[in-house]
């Protein structure tokens, strides 16, 4: 059975002009089959490669009314999936792109994140494929070891499945893909119990840093990749006084 695969892209994976990411998008994705979708994302990972400013993470707390869903991009893959080997191939290419590389290294994870699978609950995905995916990710010692707050469970379970609902488009339509691959990154949580950074902290990190790192936030907004926090972040960043 041919399964239609898509990539759930959050943040700079979608718009970054690094040559290896551009090559990955052009060679692996159907750029004519792209959807803007509602997903539970927020700013929550402090990134060393971006001047210790914040990047996006998946969070189940965004499913609560007190928070809210954001928008991301779901893009079809050029190749359909016929076997677990083909699924793993696409996952490894995605992981290479996340690391700004062009070549696969046979891995799907490290301490800062991992590639996870999201099956369509209405799709006819063979149980054997999901079992083989679980076996594949179980071979990696650092796979899925992601922080989470007390009010939520791990965003990736022991079987390598992303723990979010199947996304709808911003127009309310369900995606037609059978499977989605996405990268879940490790949030920077502090305190006891662990909590996500406050909006003031997120805005302050960009306001005190270089324009280049603030570009991450601006580019996300430009490409309609946003969180429920964006409006307040903008207000804090435009404030003339200290945050």
CA 204 to each of CA 53, 58, 201, 211, 239: distance values in angstroms, whole numbers, following the listed order? 9, 21, 5, 13, 10
Q: pTM here?
A: 0.95
CA 170, CA 69: separation in Å to the nearest integer? Answer: 10
Which secondary-structure segment (H or E) carries 57?
strand 53-58
Neighbours of 201 (CB within 10 A): 16
What digits encode the pLDDT tens for the residues 136-174? 999 999 999 999 999 999 999 999 999 999 999 999 998
What digits encode the pLDDT tens for the residues 168-196? 999 999 899 999 999 999 999 999 999 99
CA 54, CA 231: separation in Å to the nearest integer? Answer: 16
Task: Report the pLDDT value the prediction gives residue 240, as an integer from 0 to 100.
Answer: 58
What digits encode the pLDDT tens for the residues 11-41? 999 999 999 999 999 999 998 999 999 999 9
What digits encode the pLDDT tens for the residues 68-111? 999 999 999 999 999 999 999 999 999 999 999 999 999 999 99
Task: Report the pLDDT value the prediction gives residue 69, as an integer from 0 to 100.
Answer: 97
Task: Please indicate whether residue 208 or residue 183 has the higher confidence score (pLDDT).
Answer: 183
Tell me whether residue 210 is exposed, middle or buried, using C-beta atoms within 10 angstroms of its C-beta: 0 to 12, 13 to 18, 19 or more. Answer: exposed
Which positions ≥6 away from 103 have C-beta within 8 Å? Answer: 96
Q: Is 62 left (phi over 0), alpha (psi -120 to 50) or beta?
A: alpha
């Amino acid at each position: 059975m041919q399964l239609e695969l898509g990539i759930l892209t959050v943040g700079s994976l979608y718009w970054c002009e690094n040559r290896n990411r551009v090559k990955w998008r052009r060679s692996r994705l159907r750029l004519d089959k792209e959807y803007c979708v509602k997903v539970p994302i927020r700013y929550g990972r402090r990134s060393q490669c971006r001047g210790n400013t914040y990047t996006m993470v998946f969070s189940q707390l965004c499913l609560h009314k007190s928070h809210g869903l954001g928008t991301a991009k779901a893009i079809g893959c050029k190749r359909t999936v016929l076997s677990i080997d083909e699924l793993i191939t696409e996952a490894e290419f995605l992981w290479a792109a996340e690391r700004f590389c062009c070549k696969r290294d046979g891995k799907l994870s490290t301490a800062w994140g991992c590639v996870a699978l999201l099956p369509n609950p209405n799709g006819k995905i063979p149980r054997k494929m999901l079992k083989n995916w679980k076996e594949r990710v179980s071979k990696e010692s650092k796979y899925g070891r992601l922080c989470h707050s007390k009010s939520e469970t791990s965003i990736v379970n022991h079987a390598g499945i992303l723990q979010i609902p199947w996304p709808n488009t911003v127009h309310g339509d369900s995606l037609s893909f059978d499977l989605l691959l996405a990268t879940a990154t490790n949030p920077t949580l502090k305190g006891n119990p662990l909590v996500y950074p406050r909006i003031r902290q997120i805005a302050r990190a960009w306001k005190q840093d270089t324009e280049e790192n603030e570009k991450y936030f601006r580019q996300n907004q430009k490409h309609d990749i946003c969180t429920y926090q964006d409006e307040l972040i903008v207000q804090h960043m435009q404030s003339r006084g200290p945050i």
